[in-house]
Structure 1
Amino acid sequence: MQCGYFDAEVCLSCTWMGRAYPDQLAEKHRHAQDLLAGFPGIEWLPPFSGPESGYRNKAKMVVGGTVDAPTIGILDTAGGGVDLTGCGICSPGIRAVFPALATFVTTARLQPYSVPERRGELKYLLLTESPDGELAVRFVLRSQESVSRIRKHLPSLLDALPQVTVVSVNLQPEHKAVFEGPVDLPLTEQDSLPMRTGEVVLHLRARSFFQTNTVVATELYRQATEWAGDLAPRSVWDLYCGVGGFALHLAAAGRTVVGVESSEEAIGSALISARERPGSLRFEVGDATAFALGSRREQRPDLVVVNPPRRGIGPELAGWLQGSGIRSVLYSSCNAVTLARDLAAMPALRPVRARVLDMFPQTTHYEVLVELRRGR
């Protein structure tokens, strides 16, 4: 894949841009194998990849420029707006709506926020597209000053973009590089975006994390479901469950599944999705480590799924898993460095299978799924 923004050094976020994609995939596979070389006997499945371009189902774009000439993209080193509406890793559906959104900024007189001057209202546009072409749009504002104008002109935006089904405002009053604040104001009757991943539809509400690459996320859930089927657990915990992706895919008749996540908004999304799934499903808002450490031995499941942020599960949860007696773990990691560290902290659980899934083409990042079984 080639990118004019990268070639012109306007945006260098995709650090492997221009590198042959088969080489990228092979290097990520080698990187994961090297990091887990201290755990012999792992069966490495072939790496999985989706499209190398147009794969991002979400865009987090800074709004710069002026009301009459807004930019949608990033900021330069001086804090000025740089337009990236042709970004080739964003899905075609997302790229297609940028012109109408720029026109809406002008029509609704939404003053882009100036970082150097610390004035203005509109900071970011956050977009998410479903596999069925529906979009959610969030306007991140410094205050409620322009909310009434957004409401006034919203019907014209929805007429121009009927694929936009969810619109909200997020309030982020602080002057810092944070994409969203704690308050969301829904502006449409529909407040969640349905994301179809295989046989499961996940309902995403505002501030609910979902993987950036729908094709690869679908395969990740499918692979985990297949491995779990081989293990035949009667009970499962999905720790760091987010919107419940693993839990909802692993739900089956006769199987008890519990999902734990610190984000109340994500659990709200999971509860909506759970209405459409069979089996015994329960979701709780809470810290994954505290939940595990507070459990009684008779409550412990046959299988634990962990999908932590880049920092990994950490020594406390790893130590608990080591001594828990739980026979199987599926560890989904976006950072193989912390994955290797966590695996070293629980030697009783032996990695038996692993697979790299390229969630982030054109970058050094990837996901790796590992199946662990308690040694005998």
Structure 2
Amino acid sequence: MLDSYSFQIYASISELPKTWDVVAMDNIFLQTHYLEVLENSAPTNMQCFYIGIFEASKLIGVALAQYLDLNKLESFGERDRCMKTYVRNFIFKNFASHVLFLGNNMITGQNGYAFSKTIDFKCISDLLLNCAQTITTYFKQQQIKIHIVSFKDFYQHCSNELKQYGFETIYEFKTQPNMIFELPEKWQSNDDYIGAFSKKYRDQYKRAHKKADGLDIKELSFNEIMVLEERIYELYHFVAKNAPFNTFFLAQNHFSEFKLHCGERFKLVGYFHEGKLVGFHSLLLNGDTLETYFLGYDEQIQKEKMLYLNMLYNMTQFGIENRFKKIIFGRTALEIKSSIGAEPIMMSGFIYHTNKWINRLMPKLFPQLEPSLTWQQRHPFK
């Protein structure tokens, strides 16, 4: 296979081949203006690698890899304080702190690679495994031992294909589903969306909408994001550190860098109460897909104004009115996202430990490390 294809790994955007964005044209998360955001404002414990895949001398594929040093993390997540959490944190610190991801650990979805031509899954499998090995060797030369290698977020048909080849012996894991809202083409306006709810969920919408009285909601310009950056980060950080599990925290300049490099394709919407920023949500326009990105809020106002639920409704309204085909809502708050119309789509990842003895225990160990979750799927439409 690698007789036909070769790959090159780059540590900086400035080194990328000129045709990179032509190959990555269908996915903003692999295009250079997004990669520049990562390069200029990646989490402090993350290092990115950009992979060019060639047929002869022609670039035909691009991919992303991320190295995470979990020793530099202030917190793995503070919401769940129990013995299982303490055990998990101990294991991560001592046996799993150097992690290599093939894919993008900052977002949910199959955004790890793109090709400009059809490539069979045997080739994709071999390329991903070879890239992982090459980067692991690079770190070994720096006296850094990679503990864990993870290949992130494949839709089911892709993971089934990869398992036919080199991924057959690698532990496949399924975490929380990706919540995706496929928007019916017949919905032309927000009224069509509200009209599709059953009475219970239409009442929920009205109640949330009424609670939001007194909030001033507006999209922020680059200059406004710059002025409010510290407050935006404070609101983001509150939500992030109260998540059940974290492997990174964004840099404080992340949102302004995003707006600077992605312009109109990145939207940050602020929620103001009595002139003070009390929440925000962000969106990325990715072709006909609307990607929800990070958000933040003031805990007190969130409870009082049903802020999070109103954000979900507002993001959905934006998606409908701007004729997106679907909205990717990601992996958190599954039940409330299902109550506004998103549905769970299972995704797989693959993971191995570089210590062969620990790796043999992966089927037993991994389920113990994943935060447990029970939730009830809601069905809001008539």
TM-score where L is the length of structure 1: 0.30
Greater per-residue helix proportion: 2
Higher RCO (C-alpha under 8 Å, 6+ residues apart): 2
TM-score where L is the length of structure 2: 0.30
